[in-house]
Amino acid sequence: MREVLADLKAAGATWVQFDEPKLVLDLDFHQLKAFTNAYLQMEESLSGLKVIVETYFFDVSVGPYKTITSLKGILAIGFNLVRGEKTLELNKSLGFPSSKYVFARVVDGHNIWANDLITSLKTLKALES
């Protein structure tokens, strides 16, 4: 992974995205610790890159939410707020670090043509507040 990140930087990349589908599972302490350690080991390689971690099509539970929002090397976190309705509540109740960005998916990727624009706008307004 270090070599890939070095190659990306050499090619001029400024952002790198990691898709982490396991973050929508109810992970135990050891799994969250392993996730944290993996990112800490990559911290030096990630220096100079803006890192986004994307979750998948469901809610993120408290443990993974606290873990990803606490990691220094992660600048942005992508949440699915269509199928992950409880994730928005976590944002409100636990707070979201002001030093990070939220990439909010508010359009159902499984059926973009049937999107409820009013609901998407309400979700974005709730996130903004």
Domain-wise residue ranges, the chain: 11-107+114-128
Neighbours of 24 (CB within 10 A): 20
Flag residues of the chain having pLDDT under 50: none
Give the predicted TM-score (pTM) of the model: 0.84
How far is 33 from 13, CA to CA, in rounded Å?
Answer: 28
**Residues 13, 98, 66: CA angle, nearest 5 degrees:** 90
> What's the pLDDT at 14?
95
Closest by CA position to 80, among listed 97, 46, 103: 103
DSSP character at residue 108: -
* Predicted pLDDT of residue 57: 80
Instruction: Give pLDDT, residue 114.
Output: 81
Could you tell me the sign of the dihedral formed by the alpha carbons of 15, 87, 117, 114, in that order? positive
